[in-house]
Amino acid sequence: MNYFKFLHVADIHLDSPLLGLARYEGVPVDEVRSATRAALTNLVDLAIEEQVAFVIIAGDIYDGDWPDFGTGLYFCAAMGRLQKAGIDVYLLYGNHDAQSVLTKKLPLPPNVYLFPANKVATFTHDVTGAVLHGRSYREKDTRENLVTQYPPATPGAFHIGVLHTALNGGRPPHAPYAPCSLAELTAKGYQYLPSRRAQRE
């Protein structure tokens, strides 16, 4: 198998309002709130600089619905930069961006492959042959163990399981979103498990 590089990220929370910041005197609120856009730009810059084969986004791109389409369009523009560089993106929605009205209307560029919310889907990356399995959240308060639906690995391929989960039930007081165990994940036989361990609400 040939070596290749990919980039895995989760919890960008693009344009999160970070409402609690106003309670702290001297905090540069506007600068902190713009940091998520800077982080996304840096992510794209790094992917292009490192010439990665693809990017995986494992949930919570957004922080709920947005007041306007500016947030979504900013994300699409960033993905468009990756398209021009020949880099595919595999993404799923987690508890913060689960099947919102606005994300359903978002015109994602053709290099972005979205894992559906109704079932586990499998994508094969054309260039590397990597096989990616994943499922988005159907609703924010998903308590179903989604891992049980993921297929086992097949011989001869590099398998990646993408999941937004509260591994081992998460950490109180946070809700146990899509709970599963490490044993359940490793039993699938995947070579890489970019699972986001949900810790915040």
Give how far Cα 135 sits from Cα of 94, 99, 161, Å: 9, 12, 9
Residue 58 has pLDDT above 80, yes or no: yes
Highest mean pLDDT among 100-104, 184-188, 193-197: 184-188
| Band of residue 198 on the pLDDT scale cut at 50, 70, 90 | very low
Please give the pLDDT value at position 197: 47
Please give the pLDDT value at position 96: 61
Work out the average pLDDT over 139-155: 80
Query: Which tokens is 53 given?
Result: 């084969």
Fold of 6-17+26-197: Purple Acid Phosphatase; chain A, domain 2 (3.60.21)
Please give the pLDDT value at position 201: 37
Query: Which tokens is 44 given?
Result: 């794209």
pTM, two decimals, is 0.83
Work out the average pLDDT over 160-187: 74
Cα separation, 161 vs 155, in Å, equals 15
Cα separation, 7 vs 183, in Å, equals 24
The residues, any chain, with a CB within 8 Å of residue 26's CB and separated by 6 or more, are none
What average pLDDT does the structure give for the chain? 81
What are the domain boundaries of the chain? 6-17+26-197
Cα separation, 183 vs 188, in Å, equals 9
| DSSP H or E run through 40 | helix 35-49
List, for residues 113-129, the tens digit of each pLDDT value: 999 988 999 999 999 99
| Band of residue 53 on the pLDDT scale cut at 50, 70, 90 | very high
